[in-house]
Each structure stands twice: as structure tokens, then as C-alpha cells.
């Protein structure tokens, strides 16, 4: 159960554990032989290791993962709520009316706009949120993975405190 390692065959799509892999001996130019794992279904040596998506835990090959997050988790998480949190962690500079800045600090300005966006609910916010999250897929994937790791760490801490 601990050994989660899996392979996927790029030729036929078969997914298998190293235990189920078959071996083939390849002779190299210099006459040395190399034993390689091959697909037990079609015999192809074009096999790839699979890795866990850090959000859903399912296994994927490298090409289906962005920063260890699968495409499905990335698009499912491209929500308005996450866009606001993601934006909060990737702040930008803007020009703002200096009188408004005089009355409100940065936190107040952000929460006023936050209230406006949540109240607006006219549809554009949902589309913009999705576009904003997926604009730089790898940055968003990295953010999701870090958040998942932070949540994991917090859970361990909470469990320790409870005990
Ligand atoms: Zn195969
Ligand atoms: Zn996933």
C-alpha cells in the first residue's frame, strides 16, 4: 500500500505497477545489456512514471500535470472565491485617488472593492475570475499546491494540539 508508484504505457494507455511490469533486455552499442520495464499489455518500452496530483491525489503522467496539479483540479478551482484569494496573494500596484487613500488604508480599500464585487453578481465576475485564474496556469497551479500543503501542515498541527 505504501508503494504508490505506477506506470502508464504511452502506446496503449495501460496503467500498471512496477510489480506487474514485464522486463526486456536491450543490448546497447557497446555490447552492454540493459534490463528495462515494458508494458505487460502491449510490450512497449514507451512507459512513463505517474505522479500524484497534490490536490485530488489521483495519478497522472507528467504531461497531464502542471506543477503537480491535474488539469481537472485547475479548472474546477478557477472560481470567483479562489480568484479573490489568489489575487490577494499576487497584489499589484494601482493609481488611486489620493483623497480616498487619505481616508482608507490598503486593507479597507481592498475590502470595499471585495464587497462591491461580491454584491455585483452580474455574471462578468464569474467569467473574469475563471480567466484570471487560468491566465497563468502554472502560477495558479503552484498557488493551489502551496495552499494544499499549507492546509496539510495546519491539519497536522491541529491534530497535535487536540492530543
Ligand atoms: Zn502498452
Ligand atoms: Zn487533481
pLDDT at 80 over 80: yes
For the record, the C-alpha cell of 133 comes out as 485564474
Q: Which one is predicted more confidently, 149 or 28?
A: 149
- Whole-number Å distance, alpha carbon 73 to ligand 2 midpoint, is 4
Greater confidence (68 vs 156) lies with: 68
Residue 67's pLDDT band (boundaries 50, 70, 90)?
A: very high
45 CA to middle of ligand 1, Å? 8
Higher per-residue confidence, 32 vs 50: 50
Check: CB of residue 51 under 8 Å from CB of residue 69.
no
Mean pLDDT for 117-136 is: 84
Q: How many CB atoms lie within 10 A of CB 53?
A: 24
13 Cα to the center of ligand 1, angstroms: 6
Distance in Å, CA 158 to ligand 1 centroid? 45
Per the CB < 8 A criterion, the answer to whether 8 and 61 are in contact is yes
What's residue 154's pLDDT? 86
**Whose CA is closest to 76, among 121, 148, 138, 134?**
134
Instruction: Evaluate if residue 123 carries a pLDDT over 80.
Output: no
Query: pLDDT at position 99, please?
Result: 96
Residue 41 CA: distances (Å) to CA of 36, 37, 44, 62, 64: 15, 12, 8, 21, 22
E strand intervals along 39-110: 47-52, 59-61, 65-66, 69-70
| Residue 22 CB partners (closer than 8 Å, separation 6+) | 37, 38, 39, 40, 43
Mean pLDDT of the chain: 90
Helix axes 106-120, 80-89, angle to 10 degrees: 160
CA count, 13 A, side-chain hemisphere, 12: 11
pLDDT band of residue 2 (cuts 50, 70, 90) is: very low
Q: What's residue 1's pLDDT?
A: 42
CA of 9 to the centre of ligand 1 (A): 5
Q: Provide the pLDDT for residue 116.
A: 87
Q: Kindly give the distance from the C-alpha atom of residue 26 to the centroid of ligand 1, in angstroms, as a whole number.
A: 17
Contacts of 116 (CB under 8 A, 6+ apart): none
Ligand that comes closest to the CA of residue 141: 2
Set of cell numbers at residue 65: 500535470
pLDDT in tens, 87-107: 999 999 999 999 999 999 999
Confidence of residue 158 (pLDDT cuts 50, 70, 90): confident
Amino acid at each position: 500500500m505504501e508503494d504508490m508508484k505506477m506506470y502508464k504505457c504511452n502506446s496503449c494507455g495501460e496503467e500498471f505497477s512496477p510489480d506487474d511490469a514485464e522486463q526486456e533486455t536491450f543490448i546497447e552499442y557497446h555490447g552492454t545489456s540493459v534490463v528495462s520495464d515494458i508494458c505487460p499489455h502491449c510490450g512497449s518500452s514507451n512507459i512513463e512514471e505517474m505522479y500524484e496530483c497534490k490536490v485530488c491525489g489521483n495519478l497522472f503522467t507528467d504531461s497531464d500535470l502542471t506543477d503537480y496539479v491535474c488539469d481537472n483540479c485547475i479548472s474546477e478551482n478557477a472560481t470567483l472565491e479562489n480568484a479573490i484569494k489568489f489575487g490577494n496573494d499576487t497584489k499589484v500596484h494601482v493609481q488611486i485617488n489620493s483623497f480616498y487613500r487619505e481616508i482608507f488604508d490598503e486593507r479597507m480599500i481592498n475590502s470595499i472593492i471585495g464587497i462591491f464585487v461580491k454584491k455585483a453578481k452580474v455574471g462578468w465576475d464569474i467569467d473574469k475570475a475563471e480567466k484570471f485564474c487560468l491566465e497563468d496556469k502554472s502560477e495558479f497551479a503552484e498557488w493551489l499546491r502551496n495552499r494544499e500543503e499549507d492546509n496539510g501542515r495546519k491539519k497536522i498541527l491541529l491534530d497535535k494540539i487536540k492530543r
